[in-house]
Amino acid sequence: MAGASTTGLADFAPPGPGTWLLDAVHMPRPFTRFQQAIHPPALDAGFRETMARYGVLVATLDYKFINGLGYFQPVPAPPEEIPARIAAAQAAVEKRIWRADLDRWLHEVKPASIVSSMALQRIDPAALGDAALHEHIGACIAHLSRMVRQHHSFNGAAILPVGDFIASVVEWSGQPAGQFLSLLRGAAPESAGSFPELDSLVEALRSSASGREILFSGDAGAALSRLRAAPGDVGAAATAYLDLVSWRLLDSLDAGDPTAIEMPEVLASGIRRAVEDGAPAAAHAGKGEEARLRDLIPDGHKAAYDDLLAETRMLSRLRDERGLYSDVWAAGLARRALLEAGRRLVEAGRLHEPAHLIEGDPAEIDGLIRGRGGPDADELAERCDVRMSLRATDGPPFLGEPPHPPPPLDGLPPATVRMMRALGTAIDAIFAPSHAASEDGIVRGTAASPGTYKGTARLIAGPHEFTRIQRGDVLVTATTTEAFNIVLPLLGAMVTDAGGLLSHAAIVSREYGIPGVVGCLDATARIPDGATVSVDGTTGEVRVL
């Protein structure tokens, strides 16, 4: 079978005809059955909404899970919708509807998301009776489903302008796109871990000797609790920041993985670093770099280039924000409620660990909570063990037919061609790894963020290892997600197995102004933990010294 697994860990059969591509970028580990049930229908609804709005001739991305790993394939828009989509593409280009989407995000959707998540967050699941907890879990699941849909309903504004920019500059200059994407530095402050709430906390702590004493002494969890309870500006600022980030997932989009508050050492270390060195701030491209790259564009295209760059910079913040304020937070709140239900089931002798409850699908979880049957404790524990034993790199890169080029766009109107080219370029830049071959002592990938750095490689398999990261380390991991942002200020460089120029790791390495090499395929297999490495984000090479 084409694309079959060679790991021997599990059987990978294609879920249907055609080509199914592995999503190793958003799913570094298999999803829990809970998340597998929630994610695809909500993603599908949001994706269909935005693709129709922008007149793209792709209706959605169909996701299927094989051994918990996500595989997807594009689904063409039905023929009867083509005329309407051609008209929508023309309107999207003429009206620049991504601007309206950004305005709606900033002034309506994002504020409303914060309000709705905060409302659920103020409910303490441990204080609820069993019936009220069951109702609260239902509310959290419904909220998560809405937030996954919301995330993907902004895909058009988040990825089409940058896909258009990449496709255009490559055509006009004949140069790789990576260097041009460095011009987006500073356009997405929250991708660099920069929050006004953290700025306020740092300012308050720098003005308070007693606050700093709390922060730098004792157990991290106790320190965070004491900061919340501190009087005056310190307590208010600590509460505002911790309320914003504590219940976000740390390293995935799956409620089966830990939230930030479950690893207080990570939160505390980020705040300590900010107090000592200053709160995180996005790097900005220098004027010389801007001028050099603009000179690569032929004179006849310079005006269009300037316009596309300005639009892309304006939209860059949506790449991470639409996740951070949608499903990354909502999944953490669902996890919080499910952990409390799991704790009660452990006390009743029906589970081994509270988190094992999230290994069930929603119907199984409902049955377990109501005492109406479901998988037993051993089965749920086994599901957890199997899930944690697999990584995205254990799955074949595709299932079914080998990938083939997209159909030609000949004869379509220019606006439709532009939208389709933008989508194809963006998807390729998110998911496609490098095909450069590594060798002994040299790992090759996609040059995502320029510069060189020498430091200690820290192989991180998941959030349970975040506390091993020391300031100045080179992060070597399978992939990163929006939730990783809390720990990124500690890093000197980033290297990943998965992803392309628009993967999260590529974006945040550029925002921080640190070297980044992504899509290496074999970085975690070839780079030993603790080794001294030299990362060249300009050439895409990582040397083990």
* pLDDT for the residue numbered 487: 67
Tell whether the model's pLDDT for residue 149 goes beyond 90: yes
- Both 141 and 223 in one domain: the answer is no
Contacts of 424 (CB under 8 A, 6+ apart): 163, 406
Structure tokens at 73: 């394939």
Number of folded domains that form the chain: 3
CATH number at residue 532: 3.50.30.10
Sorting pLDDT into bands at 50, 70 and 90, what band is 3? Answer: very low
469 is a domain residue: yes
d(CA 527, CA 533): 8
Pairing mode of beta strands 58-66, 452-460 = unpaired
Q: Comparing 185-194, 227-236, 378-387, 442-451, which segment has the lowest mean pLDDT? A: 185-194
* pLDDT for the residue numbered 435: 84
* pLDDT for the residue numbered 333: 98
- Both 49 and 132 in one domain: the answer is yes
Sorting pLDDT into bands at 50, 70 and 90, what band is 483? Answer: low
425 is a domain residue: no
- Both 465 and 353 in one domain: the answer is no
pLDDT digits (tens, 9 = 90+) for 46-88: 999 999 999 999 999 999 999 999 999 999 999 999 999 999 9
- Both 24 and 150 in one domain: the answer is yes
490 is a domain residue: yes
* pLDDT for the residue numbered 281: 65
Tell whether the model's pLDDT for residue 6 goes beyond 60: no
Which of 228, 256, 277 delimits the end of a domain?
A: 277
pLDDT digits (tens, 9 = 90+) for 514-528: 999 999 989 999 999
Q: Which domain holds residue 203?
A: 195-277
* pLDDT for the residue numbered 174: 93
Which of 239, 256, 277 delimits the end of a domain?
A: 277
497 is a domain residue: yes
* pLDDT for the residue numbered 5: 37
Tell whether the model's pLDDT for residue 351 goes beyond 50: yes
Q: Read off the pLDDT of each residue in 218-232 and give the average, rounded to a whole number.
A: 94
- Both 370 and 457 in one domain: the answer is no
On average, the pLDDT of the chain sits at 92
Exposure string of 302-313, with b = 16+ CB inside 10 Å and e = fewer, is eeebeebbebbb
- Both 29 and 134 in one domain: the answer is yes
pLDDT digits (tens, 9 = 90+) for 322-341: 999 999 999 999 999 999 99
End-to-end CA distance of the chain: 40
Tell whether the model's pLDDT for residue 128 goes beyond 50: yes
Listed residue (18, 2, 1, 14) closest to 404, CA to CA? 18
* pLDDT for the residue numbered 162: 96
* pLDDT for the residue numbered 148: 98
Sorting pLDDT into bands at 50, 70 and 90, what band is 177? Answer: confident
* pLDDT for the residue numbered 4: 38
* pLDDT for the residue numbered 116: 98
Which of 400, 424, 450 delimits the end of a domain?
A: 400
Sorting pLDDT into bands at 50, 70 and 90, what band is 2? Answer: very low
Tell whether the model's pLDDT for residue 7 goes beyond 80: no
Tell whether the model's pLDDT for residue 1 goes beyond 60: no
Q: Are 453 and 493 in contact (CB under 8 A)?
A: yes
Q: Are 198 and 279 in contact (CB under 8 A)?
A: yes
7 is a domain residue: no
- Both 37 and 99 in one domain: the answer is yes
Q: How buried is 226 (Cβ within 10 angstroms: 0-12 exposed, 13-18 middle, 19+ buried)?
A: buried
pLDDT digits (tens, 9 = 90+) for 432-462: 888 889 999 999 999 998 899 999 999 988 7
HEC sequence for 132-173: HHHHHHHHHHHHHHHHHHHHHHCHHHHHHHHHHHHHHHHHHH
- Both 124 and 52 in one domain: the answer is yes
Structure tokens at 511: 């925002």
Query: Per 3-state DSSP, what percentage of the chain is helix, strand, and coil (rounded to 5)?
Result: 55, 10, 30
Pairing mode of beta strands 516-518, 493-496 = parallel
- Both 40 and 136 in one domain: the answer is yes
* pLDDT for the residue numbered 299: 96
- Both 464 and 540 in one domain: the answer is yes
Q: Read off the pLDDT of each residue in 224-252 and give the average, rounded to a whole number.
A: 94
- Both 63 and 139 in one domain: the answer is yes
433 is a domain residue: no
* pLDDT for the residue numbered 516: 93
Sorting pLDDT into bands at 50, 70 and 90, what band is 482? Answer: low
46 is a domain residue: yes
* pLDDT for the residue numbered 478: 87
Q: Are 56 and 409 in contact (CB under 8 A)?
A: no
171 is a domain residue: no
Tell whether the model's pLDDT for residue 125 goes beyond 60: yes
* pLDDT for the residue numbered 8: 43
- Both 393 and 446 in one domain: the answer is no
Q: Read off the pLDDT of each residue in 409-429 and give the average, rounded to a whole number.
A: 94
